[in-house]
Structure 1
Amino acid sequence: MASWKEIDTHAKEWTKTAGKRLRESFKETLNISTKSNRNDLVTNMDKETEEFFITKIKENYPDHRILGEEGMGEGVTDLNGIVWIIDPIDGTMNFIHQQRNFAISIGIYENGVGKIGLIYDVVHDELYHAVKGQGAYMNDVKLQELEPVALSDMILSLNATWVTENKRIDPAILSKLVKDIRGTRSYGSAAIELAYTAAGRVDGYISLRLAPWDVAGGAVLVEEVGGLVTDLRGKPLDLVNGGSVFACRPVLHEEVLKKYLADY
């Protein structure tokens, strides 16, 4: 079996290569289509980037399996063995409209345990990366262990649509939380928001509906600096089917769960 160091080196190299190609695509005309609804966008670059990773993985690690957003990998229904969970462009709407605030996200898991996490903020050339047990980094700068902060000082990354009326949670639950903390932010990319949580740029991130490829890489990063990543009931993430996500600094994670999300 290949060493984790070799796998990590390859993943970083391929991610940087894919990011360069995405930057080059800014001057090209994108082929844009929709998936589940008119706001669920996909471009030719999403598909091209995922195909690039699949080709590289299969050439070098033919026994590894792949779970990707665009469905070009295998039909993965469990996390047995080594599984690459890939989002070729997390924040496709931002990629199309802003040409910033999007990322490549990769989580590599062995029998359900996150071993490697990579999030590449392509435009800012910030590669957040972690190998389990070896710390987390932004480029060559080691990220510090996350320390607790007071609830009243919390900056929470949260999509405003979750605070309005929806079928997944009583909006009063989140609106009370929002009123009690210092402020909220929204970047339109779960990967970037998880990377920012790991880096301490925000103190936590909540989403009511995410796919495995949205969070697999970021979960490794956040946990490697002492943060906690669960669903909104405090249970482990479902990295096969997806679901809600709550990533946060230690202590504060438990406080928010008990005080605001107990009735979720």
Structure 2
Amino acid sequence: MSESNGGVDDTARARDRATVAAQAAEAGAAVAHESFRRNIPVEVKGGKTDVVTQADRDAQRAVIDVIHETYPDDPIVGEEDDERKTVPPEGPAWIIDPIDGTNNYVRELRVFATAVAAVIDGEPVGSAVVLPALGDTYLAGPDGVTRNGDSITVSDRDDPQTCTVCPTIWWDFDEREQYAAATREIVQRFGDMRRFGCAQAVLSMVAAGGLDGVITNVQANPWDSVAGVHLIREAGGTVTDIDGNPWRYDSTGLVASNGVVHDEVLAATQAIDAGNGQ
């Protein structure tokens, strides 16, 4: 799997990295699942809802160990501990979230995920999102996008009144007007709304067609977003920033959809700030 061999083409290199992303995510998810519903102690990192457990750290170490077995010199962008927090614009890197949805995890709710994305020059070439308590593994790479080994695609719903859309990423207590505006725009424009408390899970659900759109007007952390965004794009969907430009790891806003109703999903996202007087 070394990239030092000039005879290996870009597709093969991407396939190698996608394979390692899958292996790393599965290893981290296994560690997280082992401690799930085991009355694990909970720590607070920042605000009252910004929590972490030893399982987060242990799962992150398991993910990194798998990556470094094959790519020992690659930088890691990760949520916990001392891993770097910004994506290098050039060269290979890995973006990981050992437990996305830690608030669900500590409440013994099954919607949490381990997410790993392999990127080169900031662009994902392979990603994996594993939801161990639900038994779902989403993978994307040069050979397509799958859930539990079966090919998936975004939905083909074209009537917003039949669509289900999810607000995601956290609006803190001083931003609840924006949270309220996001939910208002969804319930007024679309058939229904869901919220799961795990960004990588809902992005995966868009890729598989269970959800038709995901919106936020804030900047998403790369570990909460890049792996799932890659799934959606490989499954035929559209992901932009709040201005409708192609989404990047450093974009403001994250607007994801099946592509067919993207204009309406984008309009709902843009109305969050407008409805809040911004």
1:17 corresponding residue in structure 2: 27
1:113 corresponding residue in structure 2: 123
1:213-240 deviation digits (Å, cap 9, x = unpaired)? 1001000000011111122222343425
1:200 corresponding residue in structure 2: 209
Query: With structure 2 as the length reference, what TM-score do the two structures score?
Result: 0.83
Tell me if the contact between 1:212 and 1:238 (Cα under 8 Å) persists in the aligned partners: no
**Aligned AA for 1:37?**
G
Structure-2 separation of matches of 1:156 and 1:36: 29
Structure-1 separation of matches of 2:169 and 2:239: 20
**Aligned AA for 2:159?**
A
Question: Does the alignment pair 1:30 with 2:40?
Answer: yes
Change (3 A) 1:16 1:177: closer
Secondary structure of the equivalent of 1:120?
Answer: strand
Tell me if the contact between 2:189 and 2:268 (Cα under 8 Å) persists in the aligned partners: no
1:101 corresponding residue in structure 2: 111
1:55 corresponding residue in structure 2: 65
Secondary structure of the equivalent of 2:96?
Answer: strand
Tell me if the contact between 2:169 and 2:216 (Cα under 8 Å) persists in the aligned partners: no
2:8 corresponding residue in structure 1: none
Secondary structure of the equivalent of 1:166?
Answer: helix
Tell me if the contact between 1:67 and 1:76 (Cα under 8 Å) persists in the aligned partners: yes
1:167-217 deviation digits (Å, cap 9, x = unpaired)? 784955752442121100011100110000000001001123321110010
Structure-1 separation of matches of 2:25 and 2:210: 23
2:7 corresponding residue in structure 1: none
Aligned alpha-carbon RMSD (Å):
2.7
Structure-1 separation of matches of 2:259 and 2:41: 43
Tell me if the contact between 2:215 and 2:265 (Cα under 8 Å) persists in the aligned partners: no
Tell me if the contact between 2:77 and 2:84 (Cα under 8 Å) persists in the aligned partners: yes
Question: Does the alignment pair 1:78 with 2:88?
Answer: yes
Change (3 A) 1:29 1:112: same
Question: Does the alignment pair 1:69 with 2:79?
Answer: yes
**Aligned AA for 1:193?**
V
Structure-2 separation of matches of 1:117 and 1:88: 13
Tell me if the contact between 1:118 and 1:129 (Cα under 8 Å) persists in the aligned partners: yes
Identical amino acids, percent of aligned pairs: 28
Structure-1 separation of matches of 2:32 and 2:181: 40
Structure-2 separation of matches of 1:66 and 1:97: 28
1:124 corresponding residue in structure 2: 134
1:140 corresponding residue in structure 2: 149
Change (3 A) 1:41 1:131: same
- Quote the offset at 1:57 in angstroms: 2.0
1:74-107 deviation digits (Å, cap 9, x = unpaired)? 3545331111111100000111102410001111
Structure-2 separation of matches of 1:63 and 1:35: 29
Change (3 A) 1:255 1:38: closer
- Quote the offset at 1:19 in angstroms: 1.9
Query: With structure 1 as the length reference, what TM-score do the two structures score?
Result: 0.87
Structure-2 separation of matches of 1:225 and 1:21: 28
Tell me if the contact between 1:51 and 1:72 (Cα under 8 Å) persists in the aligned partners: no
1:234 corresponding residue in structure 2: 244
Question: Does the alignment pair 1:185 with 2:194?
Answer: yes
Structure-2 separation of matches of 1:225 and 1:253: 15
2:98 to 78, 84, 88: 88
Structure-2 separation of matches of 1:175 and 1:236: 25
Secondary structure of the equivalent of 1:152?
Answer: helix
Change (3 A) 1:165 1:252: farther
Secondary structure of the equivalent of 2:98?
Answer: strand
Secondary structure of the equivalent of 1:104?
Answer: strand
